[in-house]
């Protein structure tokens, strides 16, 4: 274990600061003799928690990583848990964050704020507990406030904050399945009852051809787009999924007494297809139906 | 094959005095139609019910139609105001 750290530790003084991190990773081992000087100078980093003596690597002396071109060693740091400070194109501090995988968090920031996120200082804390991570984050945040006289914009309350805290879009919710896919003969209830159950137990249900992410028909696509635009939470049932929804394509037409697909149900009631949804959306009635204001 | 005229006639037969506009949106395949209807029968009915009236009128030929888009279901008053 110690050997695996040796190459990193063997680098010249400029990198030695970062080496403290690696010694931390190796804490059960005694410091490498050749590196004793650095390690002593920095003091052992297993004391990351509560940082009154400043054992933690200071923000200002941590090298800035250009996120579009990290070196292999920097990339390795991004794979670890730790604290990170994000800088814009003019090297102005924007946000101090904490992550179980710094690189993933930085990617997510870069996705939501592509024009802002340019570089970062990273303090990897591979074995730190949650509390230790939080303490390190507090220390860096305090240092940045001391240095700039203000809270980084992404950490300060206000409109900018949301963009830093919004998580990357989650994987789309899977389509609802009416049956486990073992065929109709194993069912104890009819498909109509399953449909009835689905539309009554979910606020908004869209029966479409295809899936959320790849609708197989222009009208289904339109319905999903309108629901997305209305920012309503909705479930999707794929009528083409014969395995899980056998016969639904015809059953739903009879059930709703509506000859075409897509079909949208809100609060257990059939609302209509793409044309109706489009008009309800245009008039604002769609949002009102889902979330009545009065 | 269903023609624009078939669709128009079917709707007119069920909704007397209806003003019907039909466009084949399937490149002449007769499988997709866009329909605009202005009819007194729509008076006092919600959009869903209006569409159901049109769907009911097309019940017999619907099995041969793949896509039906009802882009307008107005009363004559609405049409005059538009």
Q: Judge contact between A3 and A29, C-beta under 8 A.
A: no
Looking at the structure, do residues A211 and A160 belong to the same domain, yes or no? Answer: no
User: Least CA distance to B57: which residue of chain A?
Assistant: A259
Residue the block writes with tokens 């329909």: B35
DSSP string computed for B5-53? HHHHHHHHHHSTT-EEEEEE-STTSSSEEEEEEE-GGGTT--HHHHHHH
Whether residue A46 is contained in a domain is answered as: no
Residue numbers of B between 33 and 52 with CB closer than 8 Å to A: 47-48, 51-52
| Global confidence as pTM | 0.56
Whether residue A30 is contained in a domain is answered as: no
Domain CATH for A78: 3.40.1440
Domains of chain B: 4-77 (3.30.300.90)
Parent domain of A246 = 184-290
Rounded average pLDDT over B54-74 = 93
Whether residue A50 is contained in a domain is answered as: no
Pairwise CA distance, residues A14 & B52, whole Å: 76
Sequence-ordered list of residues with C-beta below 8 angstroms from that of B59, at least 6 positions apart, any chain: A259
Predicted pLDDT of residue A54: 53
Q: Does B25 touch chain A (CB under 8 A)?
A: no
| DSSP helix/strand/coil, A148 | helix
Pairwise CB contact (< 8 Å): B55 & A275: no
Looking at the structure, do residues A150 and A198 belong to the same domain, yes or no? Answer: no
Tokens of A154: 């992404």
Q: How many domains does chain A have?
A: 2
Pairwise CA distance, residues A88 & A227, whole Å: 35
Residues pairing with A23 in the sheet: none
Predicted pLDDT of residue A76: 87
Last residue of some domain: A118, A137, A165?
A165
A interface mutation test: which of B31, B58, B70 has the most A CBs within 10 A?
Answer: B70
B interface mutation test: which of A221, A240, A279, A284 has the most B CBs within 10 A?
Answer: A279
Helix residue spans in chain A (DSSP H): 2-9, 13-25, 36-42, 72-78, 102-112, 130-148, 159-165, 191-201, 218-229, 248-256, 274-282, 285-290
Q: Among A194, A208, A204, A192, which Cα is nearest to A261's?
A: A208
Whether residue A72 is contained in a domain is answered as: yes
Predicted pLDDT of residue A24: 37
Predicted pLDDT of residue A6: 35
- Among A52-56, A163-167, B47-51, B62-66, the least confident range: A52-56
Q: Does B71 touch chain A (CB under 8 A)?
A: yes
| Nearest-CA distance A164 → chain B (Å) | 42
Q: What is the pLDDT of residues A238-271, one digit of tens each?
A: 999 999 999 999 999 999 999 999 999 999 999 9
**Angle of helix A191-201 versus helix A248-256 axis, rounded to 10:** 70
What DSSP designation does A80 have?
A: S
Looking at the structure, do residues A144 and A206 belong to the same domain, yes or no? Answer: no
Query: Does position B71 have pLDDT exceeding 50, yes or no?
Result: yes
| Regions in chain A scoring below 70 on pLDDT | 1-54, 166-171, 294
Domain CATH for A241: 3.40.30.10
Pairwise CB contact (< 8 Å): B67 & A258: no
């Amino acid at each position: 274990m110690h050997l695996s750290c040796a190459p990193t530790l063997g680098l010249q003084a400029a990198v030695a600061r970062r080496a403290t991190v690696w010694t931390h990773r190796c804490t059960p081992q005694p410091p490498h003799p050749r590196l004793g000087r650095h390690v002593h100078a920095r003091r052992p980093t297993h004391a990351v928690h509560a940082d009154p003596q400043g054992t933690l690597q200071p923000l200002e002396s941590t090298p800035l990583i250009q996120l579009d071109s990290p070196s292999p060693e920097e990339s390795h740091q991004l794979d670890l848990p730790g604290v990170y400070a994000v800088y814009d194109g003019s090297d102005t501090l924007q946000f101090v964050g904490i992550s179980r995988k710094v690189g993933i968090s930085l990617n997510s920031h870069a996705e939501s704020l592509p024009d802002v996120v340019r570089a970062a200082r990273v303090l990897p804390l591979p074995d730190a507990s949650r509390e230790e991570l939080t303490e390190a984050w507090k220390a860096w945040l305090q240092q940045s406030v001391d240095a700039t006289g203000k809270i980084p914009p992404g950490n300060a309350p206000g409109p900018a904050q949301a963009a830093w805290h919004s998580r990357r879009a989650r994987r789309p919710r899977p389509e609802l399945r009416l049956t486990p896919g073992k065929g109709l003969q194993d069912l104890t209830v009819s498909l109509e009852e399953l449909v009835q159950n689905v539309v009554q137990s979910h606020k908004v249900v869209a029966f479409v051809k295809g899936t959320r992410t790849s609708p197989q028909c222009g009208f289904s696509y339109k319905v999903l787009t309108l629901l997305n635009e209305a920012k309503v939470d909705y479930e999707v049932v794929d009528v083409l999924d014969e395995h899980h929804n056998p016969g639904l394509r015809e059953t739903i037409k009879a059930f709703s007494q509506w000859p075409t697909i897509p079909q949208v149900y809100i609060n257990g009631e059939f609302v209509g297809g793409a044309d109706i949804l489009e008009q309800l959306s245009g008039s604002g009635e769609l949002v009102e139906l889902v979330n009545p204001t009065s | 094959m269903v023609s624009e005229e078939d669709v128009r006639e079917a709707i007119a037969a069920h909704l007397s005095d209806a003003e019907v506009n039909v466009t084949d949106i399937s490149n002449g395949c007769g499988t997709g139609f866009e329909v605009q209807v202005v009819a007194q029968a729509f008076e006092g009915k919600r959009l869903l019910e209006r569409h159901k009236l049109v769907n009911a009128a097309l019940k017999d030929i619907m099995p041969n139609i793949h896509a039906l888009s009802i882009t307008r279901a107005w009363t004559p008053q609405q049409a005059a105001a538009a």
